[in-house]
Amino acid sequence: MDDQKEKRFKEILEENGGRINRICQFYCRNVEDKKDMYQEVLVNIWKSLDKFRGDSAISTWIYRIAVNTSISFSGMASRDKKLYIDKVPQNLNFLLDENELYQKFQIEEQLEQLEICVNQLSVIEKILISLVLEGLTMREIADVVGLTEPNVKVKIHRIKEQLKQQLVR
Amino acid sequence: MKTMQHNSQQFDLENLVRGLQREDSRYLALTNSFKWIMWVLSPLYFLLFLAGVIVDRPEIDKIGFLFFSLAFLSFALLFNSLHKEFKAVDYGVSTLEMLRKAVGRYALCHPKTYLTIIPMLFSALGFSFTAQRGFPFASLEMRILVAFGSILLMLFCGALVGYFIWRKHQKPLRDQALIILKEMGG
């Protein structure tokens, strides 16, 4: 029984280690904090493994655990907790279309600005943005956070508008 | 291993798995021992009560043993239910569901909080009847009353400590969960 659990646990980690790592990266800049959060996500995967019945995709289940852990991880629920965004141009794509990306030299500055704006959002809005940046579909995001798909769409649309306004100012 | 490559930090997965398995078995052993102590003490005190009836011990002792037996039985049942609830904590549910459950679990006025009063009260009564001889009063009623009052005072202090622990650790979590739920519109 324990061997089976261990085998399953390791398989899940092999397939989803990258996802977990990326989610941790959104919430922790410091290497030690990231390591601690990564470990906490793993502990929660282990604790919840017996209850996973395959009702949702394994990736959705992993994102749920990672996001839920991020909320409870050392005050992550606090509005002041920062969300860190990698300074790569692709991370602006969800917000701006191709034409708006013509001023390449401004990208880095915009990414800095984006991070500042994102960190003024509420906890749940930060979570939604981290999942958008992860490339999840609206359906998948709705499954992770437990809201309806239209509700998620509306919330994300509002966040995008808000961020866009702040960025173009 | 892939996981190690994804995660740039030096992460000892083998050690973590061993640790988790150790923690699981340690927790299981701990809860089992506590459960068994309660399940042994309850009939033991009931046997003491029966023995008291046979050897004609003072009524007051017999009542005390009976209350202790009831206290251990209700502790065992309560512990069993808390253990099940603890094991049911699942991080694989949606954020909305997890937050709703956390709000219920960390509430001060949780039904289980009130249920703990029952075994506490039984043990207080058990103590009052069996330990009343230690109190220097002539009247039996007075001794029982003082014994009961002192144990209630101790329980009240315990509850107060529990309240401060809740205020420091659980209340902030509950408040944060409520804020996020409000933001989610749930």
Domain boundary among A10, A37, A72: A72
Domain housing A52: 2-72
Provide the pLDDT for residue A32: 85
pTM above 0.80, yes or no: no
Please state, in angstroms and rounded to a whole number, the distance separating the CA atoms of residues A163 and A120. Answer: 10
How many domains does chain B fold into? Answer: 1
Whole-number average pLDDT of chain A: 82
- Report whether pLDDT(A94) > 80: no
Q: B184, A145: Cβ pair inside 8 Å?
A: yes
Residues A46, A65: Cα–Cα separation, whole Å: 10
Judge: B184–A147 Cβ closer than 8 Å, yes or no: yes
Q: How many C-beta atoms lie closer than 10 Å to residue A99's C-beta?
A: 6
Residue A143 and residue A104 in one domain: yes
Q: Among partner residues A61, A123, A146, which is closest to B183 by beta-carbon distance? A: A123
Q: Looking at residues A57-74, what average pLDDT do you find?
A: 85
| Domain range for B19 | 2-184
Cβ-based contacts of B9 with chain A (< 8 Å): 31, 34-35, 38
User: With pLDDT > 70 as the criterion, what percentage of chain A qualifies?
Assistant: 80
- What CATH number is given to the structural domain containing A24? 1.10.1740.10
In angstroms, the CA A166 to CA B94 distance is 30
A49 and A111 fall within a common domain:
no
B143 to chain A, closest Cα gap in Å: 50
Same domain, A68 and A98: no
In a domain, A147, yes or no: yes
| Same domain, residue pair A128 and A162 | yes
A42 and A105 both lie in a single domain: no
| ipTM rounded to 2 decimals | 0.76
Count the Cβ atoms, other than its own, within 10 Å of residue B117.
13
Q: Is the pLDDT of residue A104 over 60?
A: no
Contact criterion met (CB < 8 Å) for A14 and B2: yes
Report the CATH number at residue A145. Answer: 1.10.10
Query: What type of residue is A150?
Result: P
For chain A, the domain total comes to 2
Q: Could you give the residue ranges of the DSSP H alpha helices within chain A? A: 2-27, 31-48, 58-72, 90-93, 107-118, 123-133, 138-145, 149-168
Q: Which residues contact B95 (CB under 8 A, 6 or more apart)?
A: A64, A67, A68, A71, A124, A127, A144, A145, A146, B180, B184
Quick one: A67 and A104 in the same domain? no
Who contacts B186 (Cβ-Cβ below 8 Å, separation ≥6)? A146, A147, B96, B99, B100
Q: Along the 186 residues of chain B, how does pLDDT read in single tens digits?
A: 444 444 444 456 666 667 666 766 776 677 778 888 999 999 999 999 999 888 888 888 899 999 999 999 998 988 888 777 767 778 888 989 988 888 888 888 877 778 888 998 999 999 888 888 888 877 888 888 888 899 889 989 988 998 999 898 888 878 888 888 888 885
Q: For residues A51, A48, A135 and B183, what is the CA-based torsion angle, rounded to 10 degrees?
A: 100
- Interchain pair A13, B17: CB under 8 A: no
Please tell me which residue, A152 or B110, carries the higher pLDDT value: A152
Instruction: Examine residue A83 and state whether it is found in any structural domain, yes or no.
Output: no
